[in-house]
Structures are given as structure tokens and as C-alpha cells.
Structure 1
Amino acid sequence: MTDPDSRWLVPVADVPRHELVPRWWERDGSGAWELRDGPSDPEAWAEAAYADRSLVTRVGPLHADQAEPGDRPEGRPTSSATLPSLVVRMLRHGRLGDGLSLLDLGTGAGGLAAYACHRLGDACVTSLDIDPYLVSAAGERLAGMGFHPTLITADATKEVPGTYDRIVSTVAFPPGRGLQPVLRALEFGGRIATTLARTSFIVTGWKDRHGDVVGRVEREWAGFMATRSGEDYPPALDDLFALAREADGEQTRTGRYPVVDVGNAWELRSMLEVTVPGIESDYETSGRQRTAYLAHPDGSWARASAERTDPPEVHQSGPQRLWDALERIRHRLNAEGSLPLYGAHVRITPDGVVHLSRGKWRASMGAR
């Protein structure tokens, strides 16, 4: 997970990751969440903790530490111990250096804070999370390893106390107003590395004397949970997805391209978010049949279904034709061999709006 000559090799090797994740959630054969308790199965604990994988520690409002063996939480993961190789990549993107202050956004299990304290020293590291229990538990476990970063419980989309030379985020921020407090917390000349909500691209940049963050979309991707402002994420577009599963669309046609699992087609998913902000997706299979769903808060929905790679039957309703938007992106990818997103120039203005450009292509995210 780290190169033999990496400056992060020793921190990763020295941090006992299993102590940060004594319990976690895994999907069972039926797709339900099942509790895993490390101390009761040390071999499985070590195998999970030291594999290069993310471990889900919280589903909905229920943290694995606080769960009973028979609990079966429903909902989306709301916290995890991020896979170490991705943590190291984000730290590298942060361009850390001796004496520079670092803000770790998204304490989670405490892995990034541990590596950073090992490398930079406790006095240089601040870690923030919205969840008081996560901050408390991580703090106790880090202290047991001899690490004592500054820990803050706060909603970073509303307030970030202090200012920092470097900000590295392992949660995905919404462009616009929700990004403003983070930008204010970055010192002039400082650097940020983050992802944006509902996308998989990593944005890095330096804060210039005008207050803009200027950088690029890195040519790699990462998937982080989006920020939240409460115990759990707001209700998903369940009613709209239920409608998409059953209803006939206002428009029905034959699709141009095979059905795709949009949520796992990261480049398509990211470009779709740039094009139609706020869009959500779902996907299911039944034998040879594959069905994809798209929904948007404005009431638009789409359903595309077909056997394997056959042309799908597409149903669409609402103010926007969501499958049409996806097909335009897929057509551009097929025609040009790539999309303009990865490697694009980025300018984030103090209002949190993310301006993207590459060649003649221009797009903005987060504008009201």
C-alpha cells in the first residue's frame, strides 16, 4: 500500500490499525449489515484491519462499537476506516511538510490523524468530525498509541475553527455554500486536497492572494462519503425511485447504449453530477435482466432495462430527461475516447463555486 522508499511507509507500518477498528460492519450473503467483533476473532480482525480495504464502522446512526450482535441496521454507511493506500494518496496530495499545520477533515476511525501525527508531530495536526462519539473514540485510541492531535467536533459545512497551512479531507464536500467555511480556514498560500459530493474526482489546489483556490482535478479518483449535518443523511429519493420502478414514463424509447451501473462507473457518474447536479442512481439485476434507475430532486426520473447488452427500453418523466443526459455523456466518451473532467483546471472562488475548464470545455458546480 506504500512504496518501499515512501516517507509514509514507517507511519503506516508502525500504526496498529486494528486498535482503531475493534468492531465494524460487513454485508452478509443477503446484503444485510452484520456486526464483526475483532477481539472475539483475532485472526479475522487482523486480516480485515491490515488488508488494504475500507471498513464500515457506522451505518445510519448506529456505530459498530455501540451495537448488539443481533442488530441489523438499515441505511447508508455514515463512517468508515478508509483504506490505508487511499489515506496515503490524500496525504501526498496535501504536500505536507515539517512545521506546517494540517487539518484532517473527517476524523472517522483516526487513521489519517495517526499517520500525520507520526510524521509531523502532534502539535501540527488537528482533526475534525461532526460526530462527537467518533471524535471521542478516536481520541482515546490515538492517545493509547501516544498520539495527541487537537480534536474538534463541528459541522465543517457551517464552521471550521482556526486556519491551517494544509487541509486534507476524507469526506466529500458539496460545492457552493457548504465549501465556504473550509476555504476560509485555509491560509493564503495553503493547499487543499478534497473530493466533491457525488463525484469520484480529487481536487487539489493552492489558495492565492485573492482567496481563490487554483489547481486541478487529479488524474485518479476516490470515493468518499458525503458530509452530513445530522445523525444520518437526509432521506433518499425513495418515493421517486419507487415510482421509477413501476410507472410508465411520459416518454418511452429504445436506448442507444447498454444499461450501465452508473454508481460504479465513476467517470460517467462524476460527469453526470457536473451536468445534472443532485442526480442519484440505483441498479439491480435479475438473471440476465439489468435495470438502471436515475432520479433527481426536481421530480425527474428514468428507468432503463434490458437483457445484458441489448438496447434497453427507456422510460423517462419529469422536467429533465435524465437518461438522455447520460447518453450524451456516453456518446462524447465514445466519440472522443475520454471526458474532459480528469486533468481539468480548477478555480474555486470564495463563494465555494467550483469552476472547471479544459480546452474549450467549461463547467461550474455549486452556483446558485
Structure 2
Amino acid sequence: MTTSSATLPSLVVRMLRHGRLGDGLSFLDLGTGAGGLTAYAAQRIGDRNVTSLDVDPYLTSAAGERLARLGLHPTFVTADATDHVPGTYDRIVSTVGLPAGPGLAPVVAALALGGRIATTIGRTCLILTGWKRSNGDVVGVVERDTAGFMLTRSGDDYPPALTELFALARSAEGDDRSTGSYPVVDMPNAWELASMLQVTAPGVELGYAEESGTRTAYMVHADGSWARASAKGTTLPEVHQGGPQRLWTALERIRDRLNAEGLLPLLGARLRITPDGVCHLSRGNWRGALGDR
């Protein structure tokens, strides 16, 4: 299984712009990977101001050697950012999908008062940016920009996916059967829909398959919920659902809103990240949260 990736240079630049680096400011790159973002930052503000952190000692070591050949010597740290982040920093940019809630709390704690963070949240396309206030909250916005990064991990590999539930979703007869209101969509690549679903049903995992013109979407959740929707082309699908949540029903409510309003409330929403790592979102009369359950 892939445990690191090289981020597109254009996305690296966008994330650095969201982070608003500046001369003399201490900077933390979360998710060393190949070391590209670390190198950009070291060139921009000087390597003495730059720290790069990754859970994988091989990645930090290899990136250190790679950048040394370019004459760059930032600090590399091997640590699990979801458990503890050594030091405090004026700017933090994460190119891994951090988990909202307790796994984000150590990163918030490592941000200096008045400092700025730019990060994505795991399983979403959302780029969150904000400034740390004196009460410990980070206040900002969900940027009108999107990105998708690999999830954080705590060891040599990622935890196994919900393989048994996905197997159930592929073949089981649901205790709730219906005809869907909308055609099947490739949810893993429908970023804004998938992100809104993460606010509605945090922790949902998504799958999609297409074979001989039949499109099938799968949704599973650690609480035992699952859903499958399948149809030829863009015809309305047969939907099977099981478990305590009705995941496909939740998705259709989101699509109802999208059709009625022409947009979803996520991009451009106001953001408040509390010290416990919970991300509170609001736009107009809409409220949502990530990491609070």
C-alpha cells in the first residue's frame, strides 16, 4: 500500500500561499513526503526557520539527504502529529489529511498565538485556514479552493479499510430497499458532495465501480451502516441500505439541497477550530461540525 506521495508543484504553491509564509516566521511542514514543500519553504524563508515532520523515519531521512544535496538544511522531525507535535510555530501547512477532533488537537496546540494554519481534513476536499486567537481557538474560513491529500497515519501503514462491511455492501440484501432519486455518482471523486457527507455522517467511507455500463456506489460506516446503489448508466438506481444510519438517504438530502440552492454551504464557510480539534462550520443559518462525534 502507498504510504507517501509527491504533491503536484502547483498545489504545493497554493498551500504555501494559503499559509502566508513570511521572513523570520517559524514554519512547520506537516507531511514531509518527498520533501518538495519543505524545499520551497526553505528557499523562501531560510532553512533555519523551517521544520518538516513525518511519522515515517525513512521519509524524513531521505528528504533530509535529498535537500542537503541542494544545500538546504531544515530541521526534520519524526513524530506522530496526531499524538504530539514538538515545538510551536508561527505558520503550519499540512499536506496530509488531518483528522478533525482529538487527532487535530496536537497541531492546534503547536500553533503559536497569532499564528496561521492551512490544512486539509481527512476524507474531504476542504482547505481550512485560520489564525490562532488568545483563547486558543483558530478562527478563519473554508477556502474557496479544494485539495485532496492522503490521510495521516500513526505507524508504518494505514489501518485496514472496512473490508468486511464493503464486502457486505457489495452483495447483501438491504433491510431498506428503494429506488433512488438521482443517478449513481462516483462519490470518491465527487469531492464537494463527499465532503458535505463527511459533515453529515462523519467517518463514512466510499467506493465506486463501473462494469459493462453498470455504475455502482458503495458507502460504509464503522457503526455497521452500509449502502449500495446500482444502475445502468444514468437511470435511477436500485438502493439497498442496512445498519443504524441510512447513508444513501443522507446523500440524497445533500443532493436535494444542491439542486434547490445551486451550491453547498461548505466552500466559503466560516471556521472555528477549538483546542479539542473540533472544526465548527457556519454559513448563514447553516451549522456543521467535524470531529465532534
Tell me if TM exceeds 0.5. Answer: yes
1:199-210 equivalences in 2 (<5 Å): 199-210=124-135
Q: Which of 265, 289, 293 pairs up with 1:364?
A: 289
1:82-101 equivalences in 2 (<5 Å): 82-101=7-26
- CA distance in 2 between counterparts of 1:86 and 1:363 reads 27
Asked whether 1:183 is paired with 2:108, we answer yes
Q: Which of 166, 171, 182 pairs up with 1:246?
A: 171
The residue aligned with 1:136 is: 61
Q: Which of 77, 82, 89 pairs up with 1:152?
A: 77
- CA distance in 2 between counterparts of 1:363 and 1:288 reads 36
SS at the partner of 1:233? coil
Asked whether 1:215 is paired with 2:215, we answer no
1:268 is displaced (CA, Å) by 0.1
Asked whether 1:295 is paired with 2:220, we answer yes
1:78 is displaced (CA, Å) by 1.8
The residue aligned with 2:241 is: 316
TM-score of the pair, normalised by structure 2? 0.99
Asked whether 1:116 is paired with 2:16, we answer no
- CA distance in 2 between counterparts of 1:155 and 1:307 reads 44
SS at the partner of 1:79? coil
The residue aligned with 1:66 is: none
1:280 is displaced (CA, Å) by 0.4
1:364 is displaced (CA, Å) by 1.3
The residue aligned with 1:348 is: 273
The residue aligned with 1:22 is: none
SS at the partner of 2:231? strand
Q: Which of 125, 139, 162 pairs up with 1:237?
A: 162
Identical residues among aligned pairs (%): 72
1:141 is displaced (CA, Å) by 0.5
Asked whether 1:162 is paired with 2:162, we answer no
1:227 is displaced (CA, Å) by 0.5
SS at the partner of 1:189? strand
How many equivalent residue pairs?
A: 293
The residue aligned with 2:182 is: 257
The residue aligned with 2:153 is: 228
Q: Which of 253, 264, 282 pairs up with 1:328?
A: 253
> Per-residue CA shift, 1:249-305, capped at 9, x if unaligned?
001110000000111000000000000000001110111110110000011110000
SS at the partner of 1:177? coil
Which residue identity lines up with residue 118 of structure 1 in the other structure? Q
1:267-286 equivalences in 2 (<5 Å): 267-286=192-211
- CA distance in 2 between counterparts of 1:257 and 1:364 reads 26
- CA distance in 1 between counterparts of 2:44 and 2:285 reads 42
Which residue identity lines up with residue 268 of structure 1 in the other structure? L
TM-score of the pair, normalised by structure 1? 0.79
Residue ranges of structure 1 left out of the alignment (5+ in a row): 1-59, 61-76
- CA distance in 2 between counterparts of 1:315 and 1:340 reads 28
Which residue identity lines up with residue 290 of structure 1 in the other structure? R
- CA distance in 1 between counterparts of 2:46 and 2:286 reads 43
- CA distance in 1 between counterparts of 2:247 and 2:200 reads 10
SS at the partner of 1:293? strand
SS at the partner of 1:78? coil
Which residue identity lines up with residue 30 of structure 2 in the other structure? L
- CA distance in 2 between counterparts of 1:92 and 1:136 reads 26
Root-mean-square deviation (CA, aligned residues, Å) is 0.6
Q: Which of 111, 117, 124 pairs up with 1:192?
A: 117
1:367 is displaced (CA, Å) by 1.3
Bigger RCO of structures 1 and 2 (CA < 8 A, at least 6 apart): 2
- CA distance in 1 between counterparts of 2:171 and 2:22 reads 55
SS at the partner of 1:343? coil
- CA distance in 2 between counterparts of 1:181 and 1:322 reads 31
Say which one has the larger Rg. Answer: 1
1:220 is displaced (CA, Å) by 1.0
Residue ranges of structure 2 left out of the alignment (5+ in a row): none
Which residue identity lines up with residue 88 of structure 1 in the other structure? V
